[in-house]
Amino acid sequence: MSKIRGRFAPTPSGLMHVGNAWTALLAWLQTRSQSGQFVLRMEDIDGPRCRPELAAAALADLRWLGLDWDEGPDIGGPYAPYTQSERIRLYEAAMDKLLEHGALYPCFCSRAELLAVASAPHGLSSEGPTYAGTCRHLSPEQQRIRSAVKTPSMRFKADDSASIRFEDGISGSQVFPPGAGGDFVVRRADGIISYQLAVVIDDAAMKITDVLRGADLLDSTPRQLLLYEALGLPAPRFAHVPLLMGEDGKRLAKRHGDTSLAGLRAAGVTPERIIGWLAYLAGQLNRFEPLTAAELISHFKPHLIPKEPITIHDSLMKQLYN
């Protein structure tokens, strides 16, 4: 049996925080506990939001935590480059293939028009309201006329004839109804390739077998599976871990205090304390105790990871500092 290949793919649009570290650690443990190969990829395709100095800081923070990788933007590897902004030609080739197969169509809907249907039921909660298919049946002449005054985005024609099923490594069996979420954007009107297409191309090209990521991306999986199928690419196994939440029920963020790794480091918190704290939250330890990431490898049990979001109370955060 071939070794598994896992990955962690941060977006360098902000400082790494404990929520990022949570996902990175569990993805790393999943791979290292099976003697697999771990890949680090920088998902900076949304250029206006991403900065090179934040990408460099992310690498430094992960190394400080004790995580390593076999392939990545700083060390290279057989599937380089490992930075999305350097892989645009691969995404364009995939776009061409999808266009040849008639799987895409131009969408001229404005942001205001899309917001106007925001009260519609959400097919996939993390993706916003289901697209109504307004531009799907435009004639070539209608497309030509509209293209003269507006640059369109490109949408994928989601199959609305069959349910999408997959087994999630954390959440179990998943079933999404036909056409869940509607037709989705694969290239924005400003020319930026969507996360959905880029991640599929990259994971397939890098031969990733196992994707462990946050539960906020569970709803993206059906769309990605449709793209894998349309492009004739093998899909990886998926596992979605719960998010760390503040006491207000919202995803842990700056409003809950400084949870950045840089801030914790400046406050004198050791990487061993952060690793032990995250391992405790993940059900890998019966009680909180500092330890290294490497010490966790032989004890990693994915079935113990909670399935529900984890609320970080003030008392839990204080454990990091005491």
Q: pLDDT at position 309, please?
A: 94
Q: pLDDT at position 314, please?
A: 84
Instruction: Answer for the pair 182, 176: CB distance below 8 angstroms, yes or no.
Output: no
Is residue 97 marked as binding? Answer: no
Q: pLDDT at position 115, please?
A: 64
pTM confidence score: 0.93
Q: What are 135-152's pLDDT values in tens digits?
A: 999 999 999 999 999 999
List Cα–Cα distances, 105 to 88, 96, 206, 236, 277, in angstroms.
20, 12, 28, 27, 47
The domains of the chain are located at 5-86+242-321, 88-195
| pLDDT at 60 > cutoff 90 | yes
Q: Which of 254, 301, 307, 318 is catalytic?
A: 254
The DSSP letter of residue 240 is: E
Look at residues 136, 146, 117, 143 and name the one whose alpha carbon lies nearest to residue 185.
136
Is residue 10 marked as binding? Answer: yes
Query: For 5-86+242-321, CATH number?
Result: 3.40.50.620
**Beta-strand relationship, 184-187 and 153-156:** antiparallel
CA distance 227 to 94: 10
Q: pLDDT at position 123, please?
A: 44
CA distance 160 to 235: 20
Give percent of the chain above pLDDT 70: 93
Confidence of residue 49 (pLDDT cuts 50, 70, 90): confident
Confidence of residue 251 (pLDDT cuts 50, 70, 90): confident
Q: What are 70-110's pLDDT values in tens digits?
A: 999 999 999 999 999 999 999 999 999 999 999 999 999 98
Q: What are 199-227's pLDDT values in tens digits?
A: 999 999 999 999 999 999 999 999 999 99
Instruction: Answer for the pair 278, 25: CB distance below 8 angstroms, yes or no.
Output: yes
Secondary structure (3-state) at 192: coil
Q: What are 105-139's pLDDT values in tens digits?
A: 999 998 777 765 544 434 455 566 778 889 999 99
Catalytic-residue membership of 254: yes
Is residue 9 marked as binding? Answer: yes
> How high does pLDDT run on average in the chain?
91
Is residue 50 marked as binding? Answer: no
Confidence of residue 2 (pLDDT cuts 50, 70, 90): confident
Q: pLDDT at position 120, please?
A: 40
66 or 113: which carries more pLDDT confidence? Answer: 66
Give percent of the chain above pLDDT 90: 78
Q: pLDDT at position 257, please?
A: 66
CA distance 211 to 237: 6
Q: pLDDT at position 256, please?
A: 58
Is residue 5 marked as binding? Answer: no
Query: For 88-195, CATH number?
Result: 3.90.800.10
